[in-house]
Amino acid sequence: MSEQPPKQVTPAPFSPEDMARRRRRSVALALVLGGLVIFFFVVTLVKTGPAILNRPL
């Protein structure tokens, strides 16, 4: 007896409202990531102080 092939589950598509919600979430995530970049940059400047420019070229 041959085995049945696994049943294919097709996910239902997102509605336009769902897509809009996901898009807003992605924008918020991008803003947070951008904020983190600035955060680490500023903290690094403060932690290192003027010595950040004092490095061998």
52: closest CA among 42, 37, 38, 36? Answer: 42
To another protein, the closest distance from the beta carbon of 37 in angstroms equals 13
Q: According to the binding rule CB under 8 A, does residue 7 interact with another protein?
A: no
Please choose, from the candidates 36, 16, 38, 18, the residue with its C-alpha nearest in 3D space to the C-alpha of residue 28.
36
Determine if 52 is a binding residue for another protein (CB under 8 A): no
Give the one residue of 22, 41, 48, 52 binding another protein; rule: CB under 8 A.
22
Structure tokens at 49: 């102080």
- Residues near another protein (CB under 8 A) are 9-12, 14-15, 17-18, 21-22, 24-25, 28-29, 39, 42-43, 46-47
